[in-house]
A and B are shown apart, each in its own frame.
Chain A
Amino acid sequence: MNREQFERIANDEVDGVASPEEREALRRYLDGNQEARDSYRVLLEMVGTLNQVGMEIPPPDLKPNILRATTLRAKASAPVTEEGFWRSLLAGVFRSVPWREAVPFAAGVGVGVLAIAMVSGNLVGSSRDSLASLRGTMMPRDAHRGAPPADRQVVAVAGARVTVTMWESGSNVTLRVEVEPGLAGETAVEITGSSLQLSDLRISPPGVGDATVGPTGIRIGQRAGEGIGEYVLQLRGEEAHPAPLEVLVRSGGQSARTAVMVDSSGSAK
């Protein structure tokens, strides 16, 4: 047995895959070779040390954070379009109506739906405000719709451009983060600070980028070539006029920081 064969068989023996013949050959080789015995002892000791370290228990908040992130992601990746919303509403209603009565019933429902839609403003031409690009995602009737933003910050780092717009309504905040990623790698946006809780997250277009919720804040990641992504975050707080939110943007090995906030009176800065 040469040195190379010895190392191979010794490693196989450690992994429990050496054949009985190889095991016997190894035993004979070790019996007559002090240097090989030392090498084998070092190997066994190292493997023993590695095995002794073993696995660590994950942090207790890992699973809750995962489930929270996936729940939000599920909401975000399945935006309800206006068309889809009305279709699902009608489908739900029709399921409870006998088939023969469906046609006259549909006419009645149609008139009713039209009336509700006109009253709620969904089919009425609304002003093309700064949220125009969110049309079709059936955003809730946010307090900020049509209202001027409380703050808007633009951060440009290594070819990436991130625009953060904030609307504030009492203790609730809506953040719109537009991410135009850099030319290579990932552009990451980390939003931290304040005691606000994320209650809803919408990403458009669906499938772009990635948003995760951690113990210290929210992280958005978008890779080069994914186009411009838009992330609308609904945040709830306990206090009116919440503290500033810190925004850290990383791209191409560089980073820049900004903050979005309302002034102490709660009005736009």
Chain B
Amino acid sequence: MIETDEEALVEQARAGDPKAFGKLVDQYQRVVYNLALRMVNDREEAEDIAQTVFVKVFQNLGSFDSRHRFFSWIYRIALNESLNHRGRRRRHEELDPGLESNGRSPDECAALGEVGTEIGIALMQLTADYRTVVIMRHFLELNQAEMSQILEVPEKTVKSRLHSARRLLGEMLSRKGITQ
């Protein structure tokens, strides 16, 4: 989408146009859902998070500073919501350890040949900072400058986190036999 089109949509949505807001949902629901999905590794929870993100966007459109880019604003809300949700869930996981892998053991996942599931489990073993950069780079296909803008950290930090995260992830996937 051309940026000016998006700016116009945001302005219309701010003015209370439900169709414009619907178009913004169309534009961003995929990335918001996938960001949440990879952050929490649970489809149902990702759906809840995505819904909450858009409700928050809707509620706070009035305070959105249009000098900033809309995409980095919504990504940041999605990321914070996923991290908060993850924090809330972690407390419940003490009672239900099966949540970490969607109730499946790593062997079951491997037997099913679910590379995506294995990667999801491996991602959950990374710290939130590392997981975030891997998801943004490889699933949402953001470049380092965009990641730096969203995360509000220097590009150098993004790069360093990404390299370390890849090294750790490579070791994990290698141990699981996903990569050599």
Chain A interface residues (CB < 8 Å from chain B): 7-8, 11-12, 15, 17, 41-43, 45-47, 49-59, 62-63, 65-67, 69-71, 73-74, 77, 185-186, 210, 212, 214, 219, 250, 252-253
Contact = CB atoms under 8 A, between A and B. Distances in A.
Interface in B138-164: 138-140, 143-144, 159, 162-163
Contacts of A219: 48
A62 B47 CA distance: 7
A58 B47 contact: yes
Contacts of B55: 66, 69-70, 73, 210, 212
A41 B29 CA distance: 34
Contact of B31 (A55, A65, A74, A252): A55
Contacts of B47: 58-59, 62, 65, 214
Contact of B52 (A59, A63, A185, A212): A212
Interface residues of B, number: 49
A40 to B, nearest CB: 11
B58 interface: yes
Contact of A63 (B29, B31, B179): B29
B34 A55 contact: yes
B88 A186 contact: yes
A52 B137 CA distance: 13
What is the predominant secondary structure among interface residues of chain B facing chain A? Answer: helix
Interface stretch (B3-11, B65-73, B101-109, B170-178): B170-178
Contact of A15 (B119, B139, B144, B173): B144
B115 interface: yes
What is the predominant secondary structure among interface residues of chain A facing chain B? Answer: helix
B18 A71 contact: yes
Given A77-B59, A185-B88, A253-B91, A70 B54 contact: yes
A56 B33 contact: yes
Contacts of A63: 22, 25-26, 29
Contact of B179 (A49, A65, A69, A212): A49
A42 B91 contact: no
B134 interface: yes
B155 to A, nearest CB: 9
A100 B162 CA distance: 71
B139 A46 contact: no
Q: Which of A56, A74, A185 has the most CB of B within 10 A?
A: A56
A58 B115 contact: no
Given A8-B163, A53-B116, 5 more contacts: A49-B115, A50-B119, A55-B140, A58-B33, A63-B26
